[in-house]
A and B are shown apart, each in its own frame.
Chain A
Amino acid sequence: MEQFASLKRSKDGQPVRYLVVDDSVFARKNLARIVETFGGQVAGEAGDGMTAITEYERTNPDIVLMDITMPQMEGIEAAEKIVGQHPEARIVMVSSVGYQENIVAALQRGARHFVQKPVKPEVLYEVIKYVLGDDGAVANAAGAGA
């Protein structure tokens, strides 16, 4: 798999920490492999929206990658609840269902961005850089984390 220039937290140069939420174990592992090529670290995983909320509280991640269609509680509702408690939360929706209504609903409820499955690593990388903004830095370009 392609390797990317490491994305680090600009405040301390540490790896960006991710919470990966998807009811598919395969999808979670796939996303974990991708973010590791970005120099990231998986802080936690969840298979449904309810667990995502508790895992967010436990891990306090820099980025949440959140599926939409999940059992018990869907991703958009979970995103809304997390952002309601933590307005600073950076949630990127990752779903195969990419129609306008879903995207708009997710953004209106606090998600920062949307990536459609199958995930192209180069697309996710750029989205994460954008969502992190000044809180993220490309390690070898900006010198952060060196």
Chain B
Amino acid sequence: MKMELIQPFINAADAVLAQGLQSPMSIGNLSMEQEAYRRKGVAALVALTGDIEGRIVFDLEPEAAVRVASRFAGTELPESDDLVRETVCELANQVTGNAVTSLNDQGFHFRVHPPIVHTSEHGPTSTEDTEALVICFETGIGNVFMNIALRYNVQRAGEMAAAAGE
């Protein structure tokens, strides 16, 4: 997976988290996921289709999810509250939206699908052309994991190249 696809997501997560949390954060571990994705806590998945396709999973440890949701909501939320899951979904939505806006400016066209709560313990295994990158954002109130698996849509790229050659 090329860095040109990843960097907009890192920038967007940095901006969205910093604004929402109003506290400093840093990028911790960055790793390629070889095994099937294993959920860590409260997770939301956003699917992308178009010139680049794949999915982004935002995953927060349960306690971190409650604290992040409470900070975003401006009020303390109980752990069971649906708003915790809602917040993680909206966080995923905002980061993905901001990132694809940046990628669109570079000429890539997408459709962003509404975020869904990711409830299964495991996700799809990485493949040769859809390897997943996991980035850990260390915030003052817990870790936020962003798992990105994207690939160029070869068929779309071929169509575009053919159209350009006509």
Chain A: residues with CB nearer than 8 A to chain B? 1, 23-27, 29-30, 33, 69-71, 95-101, 116-118, 120
Looking at the complex, which one of A26, A100, A120 makes contact with B87 (CB distance below 8 Å)? Answer: A26
Q: Chain B residue with minimal CB distance to A74?
A: B114
Establish whether residues A97 and B100, one from each chain, have CB atoms under 8 Å apart when the complex forms. yes
Contacts of B101 in A (CB 8 A): 96-99, 116
Q: A30-B72, A30-B73 are in contact. Are A25 and B86 (CB under 8 A)?
A: yes
Residues of B bordering A, CB below 8 Å: 15-16, 19-20, 69, 72-74, 82-83, 86-87, 89-90, 93-98, 100-101, 104-105, 109, 112-115
**Chain A residues in 8 Å Cβ range of B69:** 26
Q: Which residue of chain A is the closest to B105 with respect to CB atoms?
A: A99
Bound: A98/B96 CA distance, A? 11
Contact at A26–B83, with CB atoms within 8 Å? Answer: yes
CB atoms of A29 and B19 under 8 A apart? no
Complex contact B112–A26 (CB within 8 A): no
Give every chain B residue within 8 A of A99 (Cβ-Cβ): 100-101, 104-105
Nearest 3 interchain pairs by C-beta:
A96-B97, A99-B104, A26-B86
B15, chain A: closest CB distance, angstroms: 8
Residues of A within 8 A of B97 (CB): 69, 95-98, 116-117
* Interchain CA distance A24-B105 in the complex, whole Å: 26
With A30-B73, A33-B74, A71-B114 given, is the CB distance from A116 to B86 under 8 Å?
no
